[in-house]
Amino acid sequence: MKINTTILKSLFFIPLLTLSNIVFSQAPGNNRAQRIEKQNEKKENIELQKIAFITKKLNLNPEEAQKFWPVYNQFQDKVQELHENRRKELMEAKGKINELSDKEITELVDNEIISRQKEVDLLKEYLAKFKAILPIKKIAKLYEAEEQFKRFLLRSLNDKQHPARD
């Protein structure tokens, strides 16, 4: 049961971290195209770091890595899509709760629960796929590595926002 809680936490925080990193890394005065290019480069760099981090933590052999990464990337794409849809709906409602009817608020809350259930269903679906590729110990290490990488990103973001003063 602890793994499910850990997974759910990571599913919530990874998009938040990515969004925070993008927001706080934008330099004023750059044009939009440059900012987007810089954001894409940072996102790509984070993904490369994550791949290296997880590969090392799981001690994937070449055969496992070849089978694992396409499935994991597919999983991440689906999780990201769910998060984007949820974020979009929440942003539309942000600051408008007092203006919404009880029916609209009920729908909003119901959609949040449905979205979270879809994430859990996705976790179950991909757990089965991961089991077909990796031993269960490596799957458990995967969930642990995702949490560790999330903490690494949080520390990095915090360090950039609050550099140590000499």
Kindly report, residue by residue over 11-48, the tens digit of the pLDDT. 444 554 454 554 455 445 558 888 888 888 988 999 99
Cite the beta strand spans of the chain per DSSP E. Answer: none
- What pLDDT does 96 receive? 81
Cα(29)–Cα(24) distance, rounded to whole angstroms? 14
* 42 lies in some domain: yes
Q: Quick check: is 126 in a domain? A: yes
Domain tally, the chain:
1
Q: Which residue range is the domain that position 105 belongs to?
A: 2-161
Does residue 135 fall inside a structural domain?
yes
Task: Tell me what pLDDT residue 1 has.
Answer: 44
Q: Are 146 and 54 in contact (CB under 8 A)?
A: yes
**In a domain? residue 99:** yes
Q: How confident is the model at residue 3, as a pLDDT?
A: 46
The answer to whether position 38 is within a domain reads yes
**How far is the C-alpha of 39 from the C-alpha of 21, rounded, in Å?**
9
Q: How far is 150 from 159, CA to CA, in rounded Å?
A: 14
Residue 20 lies in a domain: yes
Share of the chain above pLDDT 90, in %: 53
Half-sphere exposure of 30 (CA within 13 A, CB side): 12
What pTM did the predictor assign?
A: 0.71
Residue 166 in domain: no
The answer to whether position 69 is within a domain reads: yes
